[in-house]
Structure 1
Amino acid sequence: MNTYEAKQAARKAGYQAKAAQAERQADAAHAQAHDMAQAIPFGQPILVGHHSERSDRRYRERIHQGYEKSFDLQKKAEHYADKAAAVGKGGISSDDPDAIEKLKAKLASLQAWQDTMKKLNGILRRHAKVDPETRISALVATGLVDDSRARELIKPDFMGRIGFAPYQLQNNNANIRRIAQRIKDLEKVADRPEFERSGPGYTYREDPQENRAMFLFDGKPAKETRDLLKRHGFRWSPTRSAWVRQLTANAQWSAMDFMRALELAQRQQ
Protein backbone atom coordinates (compact mmCIF):
# COMPACT_ATOMS: atom_id res chain seq x y z
CA MET A 1 0.00 0.00 0.00
CA ASN A 2 1.52 3.32 -1.07
CA THR A 3 1.06 6.65 0.72
CA TYR A 4 -1.97 7.64 -1.36
CA GLU A 5 -3.68 4.30 -0.78
CA ALA A 6 -2.93 4.62 2.94
CA LYS A 7 -4.57 8.06 2.96
CA GLN A 8 -7.58 6.68 1.11
CA ALA A 9 -7.85 3.81 3.59
CA ALA A 10 -7.64 6.25 6.50
CA ARG A 11 -10.27 8.46 4.86
CA LYS A 12 -12.59 5.49 4.40
CA ALA A 13 -12.03 4.37 7.98
CA GLY A 14 -12.83 7.89 9.16
CA TYR A 15 -16.14 7.92 7.32
CA GLN A 16 -16.95 4.45 8.62
CA ALA A 17 -16.22 5.58 12.18
CA LYS A 18 -18.49 8.61 11.76
CA ALA A 19 -21.23 6.39 10.33
CA ALA A 20 -20.93 3.96 13.24
CA GLN A 21 -20.99 6.80 15.78
CA ALA A 22 -24.09 8.35 14.21
CA GLU A 23 -25.73 4.91 14.13
CA ARG A 24 -25.09 4.43 17.85
CA GLN A 25 -26.40 7.91 18.62
CA ALA A 26 -29.50 7.25 16.50
CA ASP A 27 -30.19 4.01 18.36
CA ALA A 28 -29.71 5.73 21.72
CA ALA A 29 -32.02 8.63 20.81
CA HIS A 30 -34.66 6.23 19.52
CA ALA A 31 -34.44 4.05 22.63
CA GLN A 32 -34.75 7.08 24.91
CA ALA A 33 -37.78 8.42 23.04
CA HIS A 34 -39.36 4.96 23.07
CA ASP A 35 -38.82 4.57 26.82
CA MET A 36 -40.34 7.99 27.42
CA ALA A 37 -43.36 7.09 25.29
CA GLN A 38 -43.87 3.89 27.27
CA ALA A 39 -44.54 5.99 30.36
CA ILE A 40 -47.76 7.28 28.79
CA PRO A 41 -50.61 4.77 29.06
CA PHE A 42 -51.82 3.58 25.67
CA GLY A 43 -54.53 5.88 24.36
CA GLN A 44 -54.08 8.38 27.18
CA PRO A 45 -55.13 11.81 25.85
CA ILE A 46 -53.86 15.17 27.03
CA LEU A 47 -56.15 16.33 29.82
CA VAL A 48 -57.11 19.76 28.55
CA GLY A 49 -57.62 22.20 31.39
CA HIS A 50 -55.98 19.91 33.92
CA HIS A 51 -52.97 21.20 35.86
CA SER A 52 -50.86 18.55 34.10
CA GLU A 53 -51.70 19.76 30.58
CA ARG A 54 -48.68 22.02 30.10
CA SER A 55 -46.11 19.55 31.43
CA ASP A 56 -47.75 16.71 29.48
CA ARG A 57 -47.50 18.66 26.23
CA ARG A 58 -43.84 19.43 26.92
CA TYR A 59 -43.17 15.78 27.70
CA ARG A 60 -44.80 14.60 24.48
CA GLU A 61 -42.91 17.24 22.52
CA ARG A 62 -39.65 15.90 23.96
CA ILE A 63 -40.66 12.43 22.77
CA HIS A 64 -41.35 13.79 19.30
CA GLN A 65 -38.02 15.63 19.26
CA GLY A 66 -36.26 12.45 20.37
CA TYR A 67 -37.66 10.48 17.45
CA GLU A 68 -36.83 13.32 15.05
CA LYS A 69 -33.27 13.39 16.37
CA SER A 70 -33.04 9.64 15.88
CA PHE A 71 -34.22 9.89 12.27
CA ASP A 72 -31.79 12.74 11.53
CA LEU A 73 -28.89 10.79 13.02
CA GLN A 74 -29.85 7.74 10.98
CA LYS A 75 -29.71 9.86 7.82
CA LYS A 76 -26.32 11.15 8.95
CA ALA A 77 -25.10 7.57 9.43
CA GLU A 78 -26.30 6.63 5.94
CA HIS A 79 -24.60 9.73 4.50
CA TYR A 80 -21.21 8.77 5.94
CA ALA A 81 -21.69 5.12 5.02
CA ASP A 82 -22.28 6.19 1.41
CA LYS A 83 -19.18 8.40 1.49
CA ALA A 84 -17.12 5.51 2.85
CA ALA A 85 -18.39 3.22 0.11
CA ALA A 86 -17.49 5.82 -2.53
CA VAL A 87 -13.85 6.16 -1.44
CA GLY A 88 -11.57 4.72 -4.08
CA LYS A 89 -14.37 4.31 -6.61
CA GLY A 90 -13.58 7.45 -8.58
CA GLY A 91 -11.01 5.88 -10.88
CA ILE A 92 -7.25 6.34 -10.81
CA SER A 93 -6.30 9.56 -9.08
CA SER A 94 -3.41 11.66 -10.32
CA ASP A 95 -2.40 12.00 -6.66
CA ASP A 96 -1.61 8.28 -6.51
CA PRO A 97 2.19 7.78 -6.70
CA ASP A 98 1.50 4.64 -8.74
CA ALA A 99 -0.94 6.41 -11.05
CA ILE A 100 1.27 6.13 -14.14
CA GLU A 101 1.76 2.38 -13.73
CA LYS A 102 -1.92 1.83 -13.01
CA LEU A 103 -2.92 3.91 -16.03
CA LYS A 104 -0.50 1.99 -18.23
CA ALA A 105 -2.07 -1.26 -17.06
CA LYS A 106 -5.53 0.14 -17.77
CA LEU A 107 -4.39 1.36 -21.18
CA ALA A 108 -3.04 -2.08 -22.05
CA SER A 109 -6.35 -3.63 -21.00
CA LEU A 110 -8.34 -1.19 -23.14
CA GLN A 111 -6.08 -1.76 -26.14
CA ALA A 112 -6.40 -5.53 -25.75
CA TRP A 113 -10.18 -5.19 -25.58
CA GLN A 114 -10.17 -3.02 -28.72
CA ASP A 115 -8.19 -5.69 -30.56
CA THR A 116 -10.57 -8.38 -29.30
CA MET A 117 -13.66 -6.52 -30.51
CA LYS A 118 -12.09 -5.91 -33.92
CA LYS A 119 -11.05 -9.55 -34.28
CA LEU A 120 -14.46 -10.92 -33.34
CA ASN A 121 -16.24 -8.48 -35.64
CA GLY A 122 -13.90 -9.54 -38.43
CA ILE A 123 -14.80 -13.19 -37.90
CA LEU A 124 -18.50 -12.35 -38.03
CA ARG A 125 -18.02 -10.46 -41.30
CA ARG A 126 -16.12 -13.37 -42.84
CA HIS A 127 -18.85 -15.77 -41.75
CA ALA A 128 -21.77 -13.55 -42.69
CA LYS A 129 -23.37 -16.12 -44.99
CA VAL A 130 -23.02 -19.24 -42.86
CA ASP A 131 -25.50 -20.67 -40.37
CA PRO A 132 -25.55 -19.41 -36.75
CA GLU A 133 -23.93 -22.53 -35.28
CA THR A 134 -20.96 -22.20 -37.62
CA ARG A 135 -20.58 -18.57 -36.60
CA ILE A 136 -20.67 -19.54 -32.94
CA SER A 137 -18.05 -22.24 -33.48
CA ALA A 138 -15.79 -19.77 -35.29
CA LEU A 139 -16.06 -17.27 -32.44
CA VAL A 140 -15.44 -19.86 -29.72
CA ALA A 141 -12.46 -21.25 -31.65
CA THR A 142 -10.61 -17.97 -31.09
CA GLY A 143 -10.52 -18.65 -27.36
CA LEU A 144 -11.67 -15.08 -26.76
CA VAL A 145 -15.29 -15.87 -25.88
CA ASP A 146 -17.24 -18.82 -24.59
CA ASP A 147 -20.34 -20.33 -26.16
CA SER A 148 -22.73 -18.16 -24.15
CA ARG A 149 -20.98 -14.92 -25.10
CA ALA A 150 -20.72 -16.01 -28.74
CA ARG A 151 -24.48 -16.56 -28.89
CA GLU A 152 -25.05 -13.06 -27.53
CA LEU A 153 -22.79 -11.60 -30.21
CA ILE A 154 -24.76 -13.11 -33.09
CA LYS A 155 -28.06 -11.73 -31.80
CA PRO A 156 -29.04 -8.62 -33.80
CA ASP A 157 -29.46 -5.42 -31.81
CA PHE A 158 -32.29 -2.91 -32.28
CA MET A 159 -30.70 -1.83 -35.58
CA GLY A 160 -30.16 -5.35 -36.83
CA ARG A 161 -26.41 -5.28 -36.18
CA ILE A 162 -24.48 -8.25 -34.82
CA GLY A 163 -21.18 -8.26 -33.00
CA PHE A 164 -19.85 -5.11 -31.39
CA ALA A 165 -21.55 -1.91 -32.51
CA PRO A 166 -19.43 0.92 -33.97
CA TYR A 167 -20.15 3.14 -30.96
CA GLN A 168 -18.60 0.53 -28.65
CA LEU A 169 -15.33 0.61 -30.56
CA GLN A 170 -15.45 4.40 -30.82
CA ASN A 171 -16.08 4.86 -27.09
CA ASN A 172 -13.32 2.44 -26.16
CA ASN A 173 -10.93 4.12 -28.57
CA ALA A 174 -11.77 7.51 -27.04
CA ASN A 175 -10.91 6.09 -23.62
CA ILE A 176 -7.62 4.80 -25.00
CA ARG A 177 -6.72 8.27 -26.25
CA ARG A 178 -7.80 9.87 -22.97
CA ILE A 179 -5.76 7.48 -20.83
CA ALA A 180 -2.73 7.84 -23.12
CA GLN A 181 -2.91 11.62 -22.77
CA ARG A 182 -3.19 11.37 -18.98
CA ILE A 183 -0.07 9.22 -18.92
CA LYS A 184 1.83 11.80 -20.97
CA ASP A 185 0.66 14.62 -18.70
CA LEU A 186 1.61 12.74 -15.54
CA GLU A 187 5.00 11.79 -16.93
CA LYS A 188 5.68 15.46 -17.62
CA VAL A 189 4.78 16.30 -14.02
CA ALA A 190 6.91 13.45 -12.69
CA ASP A 191 9.93 14.65 -14.68
CA ARG A 192 9.48 18.22 -13.53
CA PRO A 193 11.90 19.36 -10.80
CA GLU A 194 10.68 21.03 -7.65
CA PHE A 195 10.22 24.75 -8.10
CA GLU A 196 10.06 27.51 -5.52
CA ARG A 197 9.66 31.25 -5.80
CA SER A 198 9.36 33.81 -3.04
CA GLY A 199 7.37 37.01 -3.06
CA PRO A 200 6.44 39.67 -0.52
CA GLY A 201 4.99 37.70 2.39
CA TYR A 202 4.59 34.39 0.57
CA THR A 203 6.38 31.45 -1.02
CA TYR A 204 5.11 29.65 -4.10
CA ARG A 205 6.13 26.00 -4.41
CA GLU A 206 5.59 23.22 -6.92
CA ASP A 207 5.97 19.73 -5.46
CA PRO A 208 5.81 16.95 -8.10
CA GLN A 209 5.93 14.27 -5.40
CA GLU A 210 2.81 15.67 -3.75
CA ASN A 211 1.39 16.63 -7.15
CA ARG A 212 0.54 20.02 -5.72
CA ALA A 213 1.12 23.67 -6.47
CA MET A 214 0.94 25.67 -3.26
CA PHE A 215 1.25 29.09 -1.69
CA LEU A 216 2.61 29.44 1.83
CA PHE A 217 2.14 32.77 3.60
CA ASP A 218 4.00 34.22 6.56
CA GLY A 219 0.66 34.75 8.29
CA LYS A 220 -3.02 34.65 7.48
CA PRO A 221 -3.48 36.53 4.20
CA ALA A 222 -6.00 39.35 3.91
CA LYS A 223 -9.54 38.55 2.80
CA GLU A 224 -8.89 40.11 -0.62
CA THR A 225 -5.88 37.83 -1.06
CA ARG A 226 -7.85 34.78 0.05
CA ASP A 227 -10.62 35.62 -2.39
CA LEU A 228 -8.04 36.03 -5.15
CA LEU A 229 -6.55 32.64 -4.32
CA LYS A 230 -9.97 31.01 -4.49
CA ARG A 231 -10.69 32.64 -7.85
CA HIS A 232 -7.48 31.05 -9.11
CA GLY A 233 -8.52 27.61 -7.91
CA PHE A 234 -6.45 27.40 -4.73
CA ARG A 235 -7.99 26.03 -1.54
CA TRP A 236 -6.77 26.08 2.04
CA SER A 237 -5.19 22.82 3.21
CA PRO A 238 -4.92 22.61 7.02
CA THR A 239 -2.65 19.56 6.77
CA ARG A 240 -0.13 21.49 4.66
CA SER A 241 -0.80 24.93 6.14
CA ALA A 242 -0.89 26.19 2.58
CA TRP A 243 -3.21 27.17 -0.25
CA VAL A 244 -3.03 24.34 -2.75
CA ARG A 245 -4.35 22.87 -5.97
CA GLN A 246 -3.38 19.93 -8.12
CA LEU A 247 -0.18 20.50 -10.07
CA THR A 248 -1.14 20.88 -13.71
CA ALA A 249 -0.19 23.21 -16.54
CA ASN A 250 -3.34 25.18 -15.81
CA ALA A 251 -2.39 25.39 -12.13
CA GLN A 252 1.02 26.79 -13.08
CA TRP A 253 -0.59 29.44 -15.26
CA SER A 254 -3.08 30.32 -12.50
CA ALA A 255 -0.25 30.61 -9.97
CA MET A 256 1.70 33.00 -12.19
CA ASP A 257 -1.43 35.04 -12.85
CA PHE A 258 -2.20 35.17 -9.13
CA MET A 259 1.31 36.41 -8.33
CA ARG A 260 1.06 39.12 -10.99
CA ALA A 261 -2.34 40.22 -9.69
CA LEU A 262 -1.15 40.18 -6.07
CA GLU A 263 1.99 42.17 -6.79
CA LEU A 264 -0.03 44.70 -8.81
CA ALA A 265 -2.49 45.11 -5.94
CA GLN A 266 0.36 45.58 -3.47
CA ARG A 267 1.97 48.28 -5.63
CA GLN A 268 -1.33 50.14 -5.82
CA GLN A 269 -1.72 50.25 -2.04
Structure 2
Amino acid sequence: MNRKERQEARANRYRELAEKANKQSNEASKLSHSMVEHIPLGQPILVGHHSERAHRSLLDRSWNTLGKSVKLSEKAEYFEQKAAAAENNDAIYLGDDDAVERLEAKLANLEKKQETMKETNKIIRSKKLSEVEKHDKLIELGYSENGVREAFTPNYMGDIGFPSYSITNNGANIRRVKEQLEKAKRMKVAEDKEYKIGNVRIVENYQENRLQLFFPGKPDEDVRTQLKHNGFRWSRFNGCWQSYLKHWQIERAKEIIGG
Protein backbone atom coordinates (compact mmCIF):
# COMPACT_ATOMS: atom_id res chain seq x y z
CA MET A 1 0.00 0.00 0.00
CA ASN A 2 1.52 3.32 -1.06
CA ARG A 3 1.17 6.64 0.77
CA LYS A 4 -1.82 7.83 -1.26
CA GLU A 5 -3.67 4.59 -0.58
CA ARG A 6 -2.86 4.92 3.12
CA GLN A 7 -4.07 8.52 3.01
CA GLU A 8 -7.36 7.43 1.49
CA ALA A 9 -7.70 4.59 4.00
CA ARG A 10 -7.06 7.04 6.86
CA ALA A 11 -9.72 9.42 5.55
CA ASN A 12 -12.20 6.55 5.23
CA ARG A 13 -11.52 5.45 8.82
CA TYR A 14 -12.18 8.97 10.07
CA ARG A 15 -15.39 9.13 8.03
CA GLU A 16 -16.56 5.84 9.57
CA LEU A 17 -15.77 7.10 13.07
CA ALA A 18 -17.64 10.34 12.33
CA GLU A 19 -20.68 8.44 11.08
CA LYS A 20 -20.62 6.18 14.14
CA ALA A 21 -20.42 9.16 16.51
CA ASN A 22 -23.22 10.94 14.63
CA LYS A 23 -25.43 7.87 14.90
CA GLN A 24 -24.74 7.53 18.61
CA SER A 25 -25.40 11.26 19.10
CA ASN A 26 -28.80 11.00 17.40
CA GLU A 27 -29.70 7.92 19.44
CA ALA A 28 -28.75 9.67 22.68
CA SER A 29 -30.77 12.74 21.70
CA LYS A 30 -33.86 10.63 20.97
CA LEU A 31 -33.41 8.72 24.23
CA SER A 32 -33.14 11.97 26.19
CA HIS A 33 -36.38 13.21 24.63
CA SER A 34 -38.22 9.93 25.19
CA MET A 35 -37.35 10.00 28.90
CA VAL A 36 -39.43 13.09 29.52
CA GLU A 37 -41.95 13.10 26.67
CA HIS A 38 -44.69 11.76 28.97
CA ILE A 39 -44.24 14.73 31.33
CA PRO A 40 -46.57 17.63 30.39
CA LEU A 41 -44.73 20.65 28.97
CA GLY A 42 -43.96 23.11 31.77
CA GLN A 43 -44.89 20.65 34.50
CA PRO A 44 -43.04 21.82 37.65
CA ILE A 45 -41.47 19.51 40.19
CA LEU A 46 -44.00 19.00 42.97
CA VAL A 47 -41.88 19.64 46.04
CA GLY A 48 -42.90 17.35 48.90
CA HIS A 49 -44.98 15.14 46.64
CA HIS A 50 -44.16 11.43 46.43
CA SER A 51 -43.26 12.00 42.75
CA GLU A 52 -40.58 14.62 43.52
CA ARG A 53 -37.62 12.22 43.77
CA ALA A 54 -38.50 10.27 40.60
CA HIS A 55 -39.17 13.50 38.71
CA ARG A 56 -35.77 14.99 39.64
CA SER A 57 -33.98 11.73 38.84
CA LEU A 58 -35.63 11.50 35.43
CA LEU A 59 -34.76 15.09 34.55
CA ASP A 60 -31.12 14.53 35.61
CA ARG A 61 -30.82 11.38 33.50
CA SER A 62 -32.43 13.11 30.54
CA TRP A 63 -30.07 16.08 30.90
CA ASN A 64 -26.98 13.85 31.19
CA THR A 65 -28.04 11.85 28.14
CA LEU A 66 -28.51 15.07 26.18
CA GLY A 67 -25.02 16.15 27.27
CA LYS A 68 -23.67 12.85 25.99
CA SER A 69 -25.39 13.53 22.66
CA VAL A 70 -23.68 16.93 22.41
CA LYS A 71 -20.26 15.44 23.17
CA LEU A 72 -20.77 12.73 20.55
CA SER A 73 -21.79 15.39 18.04
CA GLU A 74 -18.55 17.27 18.78
CA LYS A 75 -16.63 14.02 18.39
CA ALA A 76 -18.25 13.46 14.97
CA GLU A 77 -17.28 16.97 13.89
CA TYR A 78 -13.70 16.34 15.03
CA PHE A 79 -13.40 13.20 12.91
CA GLU A 80 -15.00 14.96 9.94
CA GLN A 81 -12.28 17.60 10.17
CA LYS A 82 -9.61 14.90 10.42
CA ALA A 83 -11.01 13.19 7.33
CA ALA A 84 -11.06 16.44 5.38
CA ALA A 85 -7.47 17.19 6.41
CA ALA A 86 -6.35 13.73 5.26
CA GLU A 87 -8.12 14.12 1.92
CA ASN A 88 -6.80 17.63 1.30
CA ASN A 89 -3.19 16.86 2.20
CA ASP A 90 -1.42 17.59 -1.09
CA ALA A 91 2.11 17.65 0.32
CA ILE A 92 4.69 15.97 -1.90
CA TYR A 93 6.61 13.14 -0.24
CA LEU A 94 9.74 11.71 -1.82
CA GLY A 95 8.31 8.22 -1.48
CA ASP A 96 5.23 9.04 -3.60
CA ASP A 97 4.99 7.19 -6.90
CA ASP A 98 4.49 10.48 -8.75
CA ALA A 99 6.91 12.55 -6.65
CA VAL A 100 9.20 13.33 -9.61
CA GLU A 101 6.35 14.47 -11.85
CA ARG A 102 4.72 16.57 -9.14
CA LEU A 103 8.03 18.17 -8.11
CA GLU A 104 8.79 18.99 -11.75
CA ALA A 105 5.37 20.67 -12.06
CA LYS A 106 5.90 22.55 -8.78
CA LEU A 107 9.34 23.72 -9.91
CA ALA A 108 7.96 24.93 -13.23
CA ASN A 109 5.27 26.96 -11.43
CA LEU A 110 7.80 28.50 -9.05
CA GLU A 111 10.15 29.43 -11.89
CA LYS A 112 7.29 30.96 -13.86
CA LYS A 113 6.25 32.91 -10.77
CA GLN A 114 9.82 34.16 -10.33
CA GLU A 115 10.03 35.36 -13.93
CA THR A 116 6.61 37.02 -13.67
CA MET A 117 7.51 38.91 -10.48
CA LYS A 118 10.79 40.17 -11.92
CA GLU A 119 9.22 41.19 -15.24
CA THR A 120 6.31 42.88 -13.44
CA ASN A 121 8.68 45.00 -11.36
CA LYS A 122 10.71 45.86 -14.45
CA ILE A 123 7.59 47.07 -16.28
CA ILE A 124 5.84 49.09 -13.58
CA ARG A 125 9.06 50.74 -12.36
CA SER A 126 10.26 51.67 -15.84
CA LYS A 127 10.76 55.38 -16.45
CA LYS A 128 10.77 54.91 -20.22
CA LEU A 129 7.24 53.51 -20.52
CA SER A 130 3.99 55.45 -20.34
CA GLU A 131 1.13 54.31 -18.10
CA VAL A 132 -0.72 52.98 -21.14
CA GLU A 133 2.34 51.04 -22.31
CA LYS A 134 2.84 49.58 -18.84
CA HIS A 135 -0.81 48.52 -18.80
CA ASP A 136 -0.53 46.81 -22.19
CA LYS A 137 2.68 45.01 -21.30
CA LEU A 138 1.17 43.65 -18.08
CA ILE A 139 -1.84 42.40 -20.05
CA GLU A 140 0.59 40.65 -22.45
CA LEU A 141 2.28 39.14 -19.40
CA GLY A 142 -1.01 37.50 -18.46
CA TYR A 143 -2.55 39.96 -16.02
CA SER A 144 -6.29 40.64 -15.92
CA GLU A 145 -7.63 44.19 -15.61
CA ASN A 146 -8.08 43.67 -11.87
CA GLY A 147 -4.58 42.25 -11.68
CA VAL A 148 -3.14 45.34 -13.36
CA ARG A 149 -4.93 47.60 -10.87
CA GLU A 150 -3.60 45.53 -7.98
CA ALA A 151 -0.07 45.66 -9.41
CA PHE A 152 -0.19 49.47 -9.30
CA THR A 153 -1.67 49.58 -5.79
CA PRO A 154 1.00 50.63 -3.23
CA ASN A 155 1.72 48.20 -0.38
CA TYR A 156 1.88 49.17 3.29
CA MET A 157 5.34 50.66 2.65
CA GLY A 158 4.00 52.85 -0.12
CA ASP A 159 5.85 50.89 -2.83
CA ILE A 160 4.40 49.28 -5.93
CA GLY A 161 5.34 45.91 -7.36
CA PHE A 162 6.67 42.84 -5.62
CA PRO A 163 8.93 43.49 -2.61
CA SER A 164 12.46 42.10 -2.83
CA TYR A 165 11.87 39.62 -0.02
CA SER A 166 9.09 37.93 -2.04
CA ILE A 167 11.49 37.31 -4.91
CA THR A 168 14.23 36.16 -2.51
CA ASN A 169 11.89 33.75 -0.69
CA ASN A 170 10.58 32.33 -3.95
CA GLY A 171 14.16 31.83 -5.14
CA ALA A 172 14.90 29.89 -1.95
CA ASN A 173 11.84 27.72 -2.61
CA ILE A 174 13.11 27.04 -6.13
CA ARG A 175 16.46 25.83 -4.78
CA ARG A 176 14.76 23.66 -2.17
CA VAL A 177 12.44 22.02 -4.72
CA LYS A 178 15.37 21.42 -7.07
CA GLU A 179 17.19 19.57 -4.28
CA GLN A 180 14.07 17.52 -3.54
CA LEU A 181 13.66 16.73 -7.23
CA GLU A 182 17.23 15.48 -7.59
CA LYS A 183 16.83 13.31 -4.52
CA ALA A 184 13.49 11.96 -5.77
CA LYS A 185 15.10 11.05 -9.09
CA ARG A 186 17.94 9.21 -7.34
CA MET A 187 15.51 7.36 -5.08
CA LYS A 188 13.33 6.32 -8.00
CA VAL A 189 16.18 4.29 -9.54
CA ALA A 190 17.80 3.17 -6.27
CA GLU A 191 17.38 -0.45 -5.25
CA ASP A 192 16.04 -1.26 -1.80
CA LYS A 193 18.50 -2.76 0.68
CA GLU A 194 17.59 -5.49 3.14
CA TYR A 195 19.75 -7.02 5.88
CA LYS A 196 19.51 -8.28 9.45
CA ILE A 197 21.05 -7.29 12.76
CA GLY A 198 20.47 -10.11 15.18
CA ASN A 199 16.85 -11.12 14.65
CA VAL A 200 15.70 -7.72 13.38
CA ARG A 201 15.18 -7.33 9.63
CA ILE A 202 16.11 -3.88 8.33
CA VAL A 203 14.84 -2.54 5.03
CA GLU A 204 16.11 0.65 3.42
CA ASN A 205 13.00 1.28 1.35
CA TYR A 206 14.05 3.87 -1.22
CA GLN A 207 10.77 3.66 -3.13
CA GLU A 208 8.83 4.93 -0.10
CA ASN A 209 11.69 6.89 1.50
CA ARG A 210 11.41 4.83 4.67
CA LEU A 211 13.79 3.02 6.98
CA GLN A 212 11.82 0.01 8.21
CA LEU A 213 12.61 -2.22 11.19
CA PHE A 214 10.85 -5.58 11.39
CA PHE A 215 11.12 -7.10 14.87
CA PRO A 216 10.18 -10.77 15.38
CA GLY A 217 7.83 -9.68 18.16
CA LYS A 218 6.95 -6.63 20.20
CA PRO A 219 10.16 -4.82 21.30
CA ASP A 220 10.59 -4.24 25.02
CA GLU A 221 9.56 -0.91 26.52
CA ASP A 222 13.08 0.56 26.58
CA VAL A 223 13.61 -0.17 22.87
CA ARG A 224 10.17 1.26 21.99
CA THR A 225 10.98 4.42 23.94
CA GLN A 226 14.29 4.84 22.11
CA LEU A 227 12.59 4.26 18.75
CA LYS A 228 9.92 6.88 19.44
CA HIS A 229 12.49 9.34 20.76
CA ASN A 230 14.44 8.99 17.52
CA GLY A 231 11.56 9.54 15.13
CA PHE A 232 10.42 5.96 14.51
CA ARG A 233 6.70 5.24 14.49
CA TRP A 234 4.79 1.98 14.38
CA SER A 235 3.16 1.36 11.00
CA ARG A 236 0.31 -1.10 11.28
CA PHE A 237 0.01 -1.07 7.48
CA ASN A 238 3.55 -2.36 7.01
CA GLY A 239 3.85 -4.20 10.33
CA CYS A 240 7.10 -2.48 11.26
CA TRP A 241 8.70 0.48 13.01
CA GLN A 242 9.73 3.06 10.44
CA SER A 243 11.11 6.55 9.96
CA TYR A 244 12.21 8.69 7.05
CA LEU A 245 15.23 7.24 5.30
CA LYS A 246 18.21 9.28 6.48
CA HIS A 247 21.87 8.35 6.87
CA TRP A 248 21.90 9.18 10.58
CA GLN A 249 18.68 7.24 11.13
CA ILE A 250 20.33 4.11 9.78
CA GLU A 251 23.24 4.51 12.20
CA ARG A 252 20.90 5.30 15.11
CA ALA A 253 18.76 2.25 14.34
CA LYS A 254 21.85 0.03 14.41
CA GLU A 255 22.81 1.50 17.81
CA ILE A 256 19.33 0.90 19.25
CA ILE A 257 19.13 -2.65 17.97
CA GLY A 258 22.71 -3.46 18.89
CA GLY A 259 22.26 -1.97 22.34
TM-score normalised over the length of structure 2: 0.89
User: 2:223 corresponds to which residue?
Assistant: 225
1:203 partnered with 2:167:
no
The 5 A counterparts of 1:102-113 are 102-113=102-113
User: 2:61 corresponds to which residue?
Assistant: 62
Superposed CA offset, 1:81-132 (max 9, x none): 1111111325223332111210111011110111111112111222x36553
Aligned residue type for 2:233:
R
Q: Which has the higher contact order (CA 8 A, sep 6+)?
A: 2
Asked if 1 retains the 8 angstrom alpha-carbon contact of 2:95 and 2:206, the reply is: no
Superposed CA offset, 1:179-226 (max 9, x none): 112222333333432222212232222112232211112222222222
Change (3 A) 1:10 1:238: closer
Aligned partner of residue 124 in structure 2, secondary structure: helix
Aligned partner of residue 203 in structure 1, secondary structure: strand
Superposed CA offset, 1:10-50 (max 9, x none): 32222222222222221221122123232222222333333
Asked if 1 retains the 8 angstrom alpha-carbon contact of 2:116 and 2:141, the reply is: no
TM-score normalised over the length of structure 1: 0.86
Aligned partner of residue 196 in structure 2, secondary structure: strand
Aligned residue type for 1:137:
D
The 5 A counterparts of 1:189-268 are 189-260=187-258, 262=259
Superposed displacement of residue 3, structure 1: 4.1
Change (3 A) 1:201 1:6: closer
User: 2:79 corresponds to which residue?
Assistant: 80
Change (3 A) 1:60 1:80: same
Aligned residue type for 1:189:
M
Asked if 2 retains the 8 angstrom alpha-carbon contact of 1:215 and 1:243, the reply is: yes
Aligned partner of residue 148 in structure 1, secondary structure: helix
Change (3 A) 1:187 1:115: same
Superposed displacement of residue 228, structure 1: 2.0
How many Å separate the matches in 2 of 1:99 and 1:133? 44
Aligned partner of residue 193 in structure 1, secondary structure: coil
How many Å separate the matches in 1 of 2:57 and 2:101? 63
Superposed displacement of residue 71, structure 1: 0.5
Change (3 A) 1:234 1:4: closer
User: 2:165 corresponds to which residue?
Assistant: 167
Q: Which consecutive residues of structure 2, in runs of 5 or more, have no partner in the other structure?
A: none
User: 2:28 corresponds to which residue?
Assistant: 29
Name which of structure 1's ranges 183-192 and 204-213 shifts more when overlaid on structure 2. Answer: 183-192
How many Å separate the matches in 2 of 1:52 and 1:19? 40
Report the count of equivalent residues.
258
User: 1:52 corresponds to which residue?
Assistant: 51
Aligned partner of residue 59 in structure 1, secondary structure: helix
Change (3 A) 1:101 1:21: same
Change (3 A) 1:250 1:191: farther
The 5 A counterparts of 1:15-26 are 15-26=14-25
What is the identity percentage for the equivalent residue pairs of Structure 1 and Structure 2?
36
Aligned partner of residue 255 in structure 2, secondary structure: helix
User: 1:39 corresponds to which residue?
Assistant: 38
